[in-house]
Amino acid sequence: IRLTGFLGSRERAELLASTSFGIHARPAEAFGIAVAEMAGAGCLPFVPNLGGPAEIVSDPDLRYRDESDAVEKIVALLGSPELQRSKRESLAIAMERFRPERFVESLLDEIGHFLEPAVPSERRNQLPEIAPPSR
């Protein structure tokens, strides 16, 4: 186990690329971007069973109630490479919603909906011209 503290983006990417598992020990964190980054990089994150990390990682085998529960779940997963592979595949699918590209797509969709005129297209040519304000 290695406690890293703050890492720059390059260092973080290198660490996550060389890591198979992660333990997120902060209880009741609101979102847990570190958990999303670990899972997105293919690590299996073990997270407390509450707060944002528990919403990100829905698999009960990766969520723990206390230290002894965490140890039990980690040991069980370490003993099964096939289960690790299966959980990585499931987690990769679930993490699609946190990809930066997905965020940008969603944001652009919302902006598009906001900018769409409230008037149906067949009535747009019936609207009066609005003159710009005079100065």
Query: What is the residue extent of each domain of the chain?
Result: 9-116
Q: How many other CB atoms are there within 10 angstroms of residue 56's CB atom?
A: 26
Residue 23 neighbours by CB under 8 Å, 6+ apart:
1, 45, 46, 70, 74
The pLDDT mean for the chain works out to 86
Q: How many other CB atoms are there within 10 angstroms of residue 90's CB atom?
A: 13
Residue ranges for the chain with pLDDT beneath 70 = 115-135
pLDDT digits (tens, 9 = 90+) for 74-112: 999 999 999 999 999 999 999 888 887 888 888 888 877
Instruction: Report the CATH superfamily, name and number, of domain 9-116.
Output: Glycogen Phosphorylase B; (3.40.50.2000)
The two tokens of residue 74 are 């980690």
d(CA 100, CA 93): 15
Give the chain's end-to-end CA distance (angstroms, integer).
68
